[in-house]
Amino acid sequence: MSGDVTPPPTENWTGPAPVTGAVPVTVPDGARPVDGFIPPLEAWQQEPNLRWSMQHMADFLPVHEISSRGRTLPLPSVPADLGHIDVPHPWEPRSAPFEDVMASTYTDGWIVARDGAVMGEQYVGTMSPGVLHLLMSVSKSLTTAVAGTLVGAGELDPGAQVTAYVPALAGSGYDGARVRDLLDMRTGVRFSEAYLDENAEVRLLEEAIGWAPRRHPDTPHTLRDFLATLGADGPHGGRFDYKSCETDALAFVLEGATGVNAADLMSERLWSPMGAEFGANVGVDAVGAGMFDGGVSASLRDLLRFGTLFLRDGAAMDGRQVLPSAWIAETVAGAPDSRAAFANAAEPTLMPGGMYRNGLWFPYPGSDVFLALGIHGQMVYVNRAANVVAAKLSSWPTPQDGERLLWTIRAFDAVARTIG
């Protein structure tokens, strides 16, 4: 169910860094800034604005609603005392209670369920069950799940060329890439996630969608046009190379396959069928294209509903099939070379023996435990052996933190061992 984790080389683990030069504003935990102040674009992703921003994306940036129509599936409750469960540190010879791990990792809210019944749930500050919290790259896992519904319906071919669905990307680095390469982060597209580099493509992407001030006049003003500027620096289908642009390209593939806006598609194929309690939303660019690599905001409870699909072979809690069972099976199995590609990753993964498949992280050599992950501490945890699903929404002051990540995984591992 779990495996050994060695101390991570966090100094080599690249990820988004706070933008420099912003004017700090004192904001109480999760509270709206005083006198209606909205953080400027250069400051919303850094302290002390981050916690407020993560819970109020629709208040200061354009979004497209992801609606929940029809039935809401209730979450039964079987409360248990989880707070005192002992959690070993990932590499130091010490441990801490579960409640202390949650408190020390900038948690905005967490929830744990076994067999679909909630055993523990907590919110911090102004976070509450109905608050839509930015998911960052957990958005990727939602988007790949939508792709899975299309594959199951015969509307999307994972082996097809990306440009067959998105002709606008012909002549770019996506020439020759398959949809499968997007799903598994294995294209040879040139894209740097080095957020400390103002000229890295990931920073230019933020400018293109309007999430950051425009520092590069030549950056396109739409997401699709930006993707079309990307070149290639390696073969497609090779090693695992985590690049946010892949999921944005995938969203355009979904639209090309169906003729339906990707946000509406997520509502129709995932959010409503799984019985979501609340709507969601996704940040959009100047022409309404969704930023599906990290722009979805949703509630904690609905993340739990999403994770529970993977315990039930794709079925919602009332038995309605949402994700194809074959999609779940091939996700968990991985491709014959998934783990080798992951081991040869372009950057450290902190997950020896693991893999990345269909937008999900498998942190151990086995496939019982897998994750949806986003920077600043967003997580959906699925443990199929223990029939446990957990979710955590956070506001880490730094985008990446190896210790906080691995200790959170260990915390949910410990809970799963205890209640599973």
Of all residues in the chain, the percent with pLDDT exceeding 90 is: 86
- Give the 3-state secondary structure of residue 97: strand
| Residues in Cβ contact with 388 at an 8 Å cutoff, skipping those fewer than 6 apart | 112, 113, 114, 381, 382, 412, 415, 416, 419, 420
Lowest mean pLDDT among 19-23, 223-227, 263-267: 19-23
pLDDT surpasses 60 at 396? yes
Distance CA 233, CA 419 (A): 47
Lowest mean pLDDT among 10-19, 253-262, 403-412: 10-19
pLDDT surpasses 70 at 397? yes
Write the single-letter amino acid at 110: W
Distance CA 96, CA 84 (A): 8
| Residues in Cβ contact with 35 at an 8 Å cutoff, skipping those fewer than 6 apart | none
Q: What mean pLDDT do residues 334-363 have? A: 97
Instruction: Please report the sign of the dihedral spanned by the C-alpha atoms of residue 202, residue 204, residue 205, residue 206.
Output: positive
Question: What is the DSSP secondary-structure string of 192-239?
Answer: ---TT-TTSHHHHHHHHHTSS----TTS-SSHHHHHTT--B-S-TTSS
Residue 269: band (very low, low, confident or very high) from pLDDT cuts 50, 70, 90: very high
Active site residues: 137
Q: Domains in the chain and their CATH numbers?
A: 10-135+297-419 (3.40.710.10)
Count of C-beta atoms within a 10 Å radius of residue 209: 23
Residue 33: band (very low, low, confident or very high) from pLDDT cuts 50, 70, 90: low
Lowest mean pLDDT among 6-10, 72-76, 82-86, 350-354: 6-10
Distance CA 388, CA 92 (A): 26
pLDDT surpasses 70 at 17? no
* Max Cα-Cα span within the chain: 57
Residue 3: band (very low, low, confident or very high) from pLDDT cuts 50, 70, 90: very low
For the stretch 240-249, pLDDT in tens is 999 999 999 9
For the stretch 401-414, pLDDT in tens is 999 999 999 999 99
pLDDT at position 170 = 98
Lowest mean pLDDT among 37-41, 106-110, 289-293: 37-41
pLDDT surpasses 90 at 370? yes
What residues pair up with 66 in beta bridges, in sequence order?
280
Omega cis (within 30) before 48 = yes
Q: Pull the structure tokens for residue 241.
A: 């190379």
Distance CA 365, CA 2 (A): 8
pLDDT at position 221 = 96
pLDDT at position 420 = 86
- Give CA torsion, residues 93, 97, 103, 108, to 10 deg: 120
For the stretch 36-90, pLDDT in tens is 778 999 999 989 999 999 999 999 999 999 999 889 999 999 999 999 999 999 9
pLDDT at position 12 = 29
Q: Measuring CA to CA, which residue among 106, 184, 86 is closest to residue 141?
A: 184
pLDDT at position 119 = 98
- Give the 3-state secondary structure of residue 251: helix
Residue that wins the pLDDT comparison between 16 and 258:
258
Report the mean per-residue pLDDT for the chain.
91
